[in-house]
Amino acid sequence: MKRFPSLFLVAGATAALFLSACGGKSEAPAPAASAAAPAPAAGKQLKIALMPKAKGLGYFISVKAGAEKAAKELGVDLIYDGPTDSNAAKQNEIVENWITLGEDVICVAAENAEGISTALRKAQAAGIKVLTYDADAQKDARSFFVNQATPKGIGDTLTDEAARLMGGKGEFAIITASVTASNQKSWQNFIEARLKEKYPDIKLVTVVPGNDMKDQSQTVATTLMSTYPDLKLIMAISTAAVPGAAEAVKQAGKVGKVKVIGLGMPNENKPYVNSGVTDSVILWNTGDLGYLTVYAADALAKGTLKPGDKSIKAGSLGTFEIQDDNILLGKPYIFNKDNINKFDF
Amino acid sequence: MSQPASSSTQPAGKAILLRHETILLGVLVAEWVYFYFAGTTVRGTVTLGFGTMNRQFDILRHSCEIGLLALALTPVILTGGIDLSVGSLMGLCAILFGKLWQDAHFPLALAIVATLGIGAVAGGLNAALITLLRLPPLIVTLGTYSLFRGLAEAITHGADTFTNFPASFLFLGQERVLGLPTQAWIFFGVTAAYWLLVHQTTFGRSFRAIGFAPEGARYAGLPVERRLAMVYILAGFVSALAAIIYTARLGQAKADAGTGYELFAITAVVLGGTSIFGGVGSIYGTLLGVLAIGVLKSGLGTVPFVIKQGVGEEMSGMLTGALLLIALTGGVLPKILSNWRARRQNARLTPQPSHPA
């Protein structure tokens, strides 16, 4: 029977925890007074919470830098937190944490649309405004999505940049991730449409998969150059394929003769861009993405951004278009020799 | 006190256990009080942060799956074994549940029952390898740890996610029944069941006996293999239950469900005073361990300094480790101290060489 006292102790303690928690609802001001010491009366400052998919990624750290700049300009209290690895469960737990902390606006890059939406709807029910950026949640779980790039924007920019480098004529090839990947497929469709519409003298000779792996893309690129001796440019539309293609061109001794462009991150392409193998890398300006997101969050909380609006003004970046409930960051950003060293992700 | 193998060590073990649990309870209360004062703010008439009822419910909801795994692991560790595969099994069960419901068009209730069955079978695989082939549990479950997660990832190609579950299912993880989160009732039910099993039946005593001395238990006529098989099969079953609750809480079933949960669960069990070598431990200790970790994880997210720096997750990892070490040291220290005192006293009373038992 010796074990009973401690069992009751546990039960009692658990009950006590809940009772005092219940009490906390009505008589919490006492402890709170000491807790909220730094800013007791300044309850008016907006609280905006920003969540990345994973907080250690260079990509999101640069988003954060832009967000902090906007927060400083607007005088809002910005917090940045997220899972250390891309983890939907952690994202939910952090959103639920923010709900009880009483944030005014929550901005999330969703790891999984449905997974996060449950928590976001809960936030909305608690009167918190919700935005998504980078990766959307379900439509009814947020007010706006800050959309960094439309497939058309990416396709057009890639095609225009290729045409500029090729002088408007010649052969080029595309290295994709896999021929079935839906986002790659849609970029490819926009590229082909743009070619047909604007560049009749440019010929897309083939589209080959590199399985989003650098080694494989490199092999594929080497084969491309021997199969198509007149190839003027390789366009890599999967991030791992850009440095892969560049390495192949470098080793084939065809730097300058076969140009390389692609969709990717600055850091992994810096060596190739700086040495002139890769001409341009296309993505969006992640700092601007964070900046715009915080401006949108601020406007949403103040009521100056409402459903149905067609545009939004974001500080020094000017005005952005809103399509339906997507706030568009606009044209993709072209990283080249002149600017790539300013970015670190 | 019927097992000869344990009768000599049990009283001493129990005394340490009680002291350990008292310390842990103190730690839990201290944590809670600290976060209540440091993590509660008021805005106008609204209380925010740690001192809200919603926060207490969130702690329960977020602790539920790890709590279930910890309960399942308590008897496993009591027998001197370990099961590293429970977190991976959650991933496998989550996606099989999603597949049964979405692709095989099972009714939800049937899919749940089938998933629980799959969990038990997977636990049975561990049990068979451990009891029939007499392989060490650490190695066996290290194997199934990779096997289950690998299977889950292979089936879904690491990418497929099952979503769009009906509200009637999500109720299990997101709504409340009689004021408490739905899954809290399940958790308390399972806790009660495990408490009965470990503390109120001869099964529980046989787990301890096996943990103290498996050979001794065997000679004493205990069906060691059957008992071991039972705890591993139960662990598989409870992992499947945790997977279902996890799926309902998030509204998604993905192969990464429960990643790393086995380590949190083991931490909770050991924090709760169960010896990793087996033989000593209790369900209420595990319950305290689960709550201590849950309160810590949740509470850190409300401390202004931590919010400002955005280091909740890092701090909780660090402090959970520190908590474990402190609790273990706190549990061992009095024993070391009394041993030392006894030795000194012995030395004073009997100057000539003695032969202690």
Of residues B10 and B301, the one with the higher pLDDT is B301
Q: For testing the chain B interface, which of A60, A99, A101, A117 should be mutated: the one with the most B CBs within 10 Å?
A: A101
- B47 to A118: CB separation less than 8 angstroms, yes or no: no
- A9 to B312: CB separation less than 8 angstroms, yes or no: no
Q: Is B193 exposed, middle or buried (0-12, 13-18, 19+ CB in 10 A)?
A: middle
What was the pLDDT predicted at B347? Answer: 79
**Chain B window 280-309: which residues touch A at a Cβ cutoff of 8 Å?**
282, 284, 287-288, 291, 298, 301-302, 304, 307-308
Rounded CA separation B232/B120 (Å):
8
- Residues spanned by the domain of A108: 47-148+286-330
User: Tens digits of per-residue pLDDT, A292-302?
Assistant: 999 999 999 99
- A100 to B50: CB separation less than 8 angstroms, yes or no: yes
Q: Please say if the pLDDT value at position A165 is more than 90.
A: yes
Q: Please say if the pLDDT value at position A18 is more than 70.
A: no
Q: Would you kindly state where each structural domain of chain B is located, as residue ranges?
A: 30-36+50-334
Residue finishing a domain among A249, A283, A317: A283
A163 and A132 in a single domain? The answer is: no
User: Tens digits of per-residue pLDDT, A83-117?
Assistant: 887 788 889 999 999 999 989 999 999 888 888 88
Q: Please say if the pLDDT value at position A26 is more than 70.
A: no
A188 and A238 in a single domain? The answer is: yes
Rounded CA separation A196/A30 (Å):
71
Give the Å distances, CA to CA, from B322 to B17, B306, B325, B335: 20, 17, 5, 20
Report the domain count for chain A: 2
A205 and A221 in a single domain? The answer is: yes
- A21 to B18: CB separation less than 8 angstroms, yes or no: no
State mean pLDDT over A196-210.
Answer: 93
Task: Please give the residue of chain A at the shortest CA–CA distance from B286.
Answer: A10
Q: Which CATH number does the domain housing residue A165 bear? A: 3.40.50.2300
Give the Å distances, CA to CA, from A88 to A91, A315, B249: 5, 32, 11
State mean pLDDT over B202-223.
Answer: 92
- B252 to A20: CB separation less than 8 angstroms, yes or no: no
- ipTM for the assembly: 0.79
Q: Is A20 part of a structural domain of the chain?
A: no
A134 and A199 in a single domain? The answer is: no
- B37 to A6: CB separation less than 8 angstroms, yes or no: no
SS (H, E, C) chain B: CCCHHHHCCHHHHHHHHHHHHHHHHHHHHHHHHHHHHHCEEEECCEEEECCCHHHHHHHHHHHHHHHHHHHHHHHHHHCCCCCCCHHHHHHHHHHHHHHHHHCCCCCHHHHHHHHHHHHHHHHHHHHHHHHCCCCCHHHHHHHHHHHHHHHHHHHHCCCCCECCCCHHHHHHHHCEECCEEHHHHHHHHHHHHHHHHHHCCHHHHHHHHHHHCHHHHHHCCCCHHHHHHHHHHHHHHHHHHHHHHHHHHHCCECCCCCCCHHHHHHHHHHHCCCCCCCCCCCHHHHHHHHHHHHHHHHHHCCCHHHHHHCCHHHHHHHHHHHHHHHHHHHHHHHHHHHHHHHHHHHHHHCCCCCCCC
Q: How far is A108 from chain B (nearest CA, A)?
A: 15
A200 and A313 in a single domain? The answer is: no
A82 and A53 in a single domain? The answer is: yes
* Tokens coding A43: 């309850």
A258 and A110 in a single domain? The answer is: no
Confidence bin at B351 (pLDDT 50/70/90): low
- A100 to B284: CB separation less than 8 angstroms, yes or no: no
CATH architecture, range B30-36+50-334: Orthogonal Bundle (1.10)
Rounded CA separation A245/A237 (Å):
11
Q: Is A58 part of a structural domain of the chain?
A: yes
Chain A residues near residue B313 by CB distance under 8 angstroms: 81, 83-84, 90
- A118 to B288: CB separation less than 8 angstroms, yes or no: no
Of residues B93 and A136, the one with the higher pLDDT is B93
What was the pLDDT predicted at B11? Answer: 52
Q: Is A313 part of a structural domain of the chain?
A: yes
Rounded CA separation A87/B259 (Å):
9
Q: Is A27 part of a structural domain of the chain?
A: no
Query: Can you say whether the dihedral through the CA atoms of A314, A317, A322, A327 is positive or negative?
Result: negative
Q: How high is the mean pLDDT of chain A?
A: 85
A266 and A156 in a single domain? The answer is: yes
Q: Please say if the pLDDT value at position A192 is more than 90.
A: yes
Size of interface A-B (CB pairs under 8 A): 151
> Which residues does B312 contact at the CB level (< 8 Å), separation at least 6?
A81, A94, A97, B297, B300, B301, B306
As a whole-number percent, the residues of chain A with pLDDT over 70 amount to: 87
User: Tens digits of per-residue pLDDT, B22-62?
Assistant: 888 988 999 999 999 999 988 888 888 898 998 999 999 99
Q: Please say if the pLDDT value at position A326 is more than 50.
A: yes
Residue finishing a domain among A250, A283, A316: A283
| Minimum-distance CB partner of B308 among A21, A55, A79 | A79
Of residues A307 and A5, the one with the higher pLDDT is A307
* Tokens coding A320: 């952005």
Written as one letter, the residue type at A225 is: M
Rounded CA separation B192/B196 (Å):
6
Q: How far is A229 from chain B (nearest CA, A)?
A: 37
User: Tens digits of per-residue pLDDT, B237-283?
Assistant: 999 999 999 999 998 898 889 999 999 999 999 999 898 888 899 99
Q: How far is A283 from chain B (nearest CA, A)?
A: 24
Phi, psi of A210 (to 5 degrees): -115, 10
User: Tens digits of per-residue pLDDT, B120-160?
Assistant: 999 999 999 999 999 999 999 999 999 999 999 999 886 77
User: Tens digits of per-residue pLDDT, A42-86?
Assistant: 457 899 999 998 888 888 888 999 999 999 999 999 999 998 877
- A79 to B32: CB separation less than 8 angstroms, yes or no: no
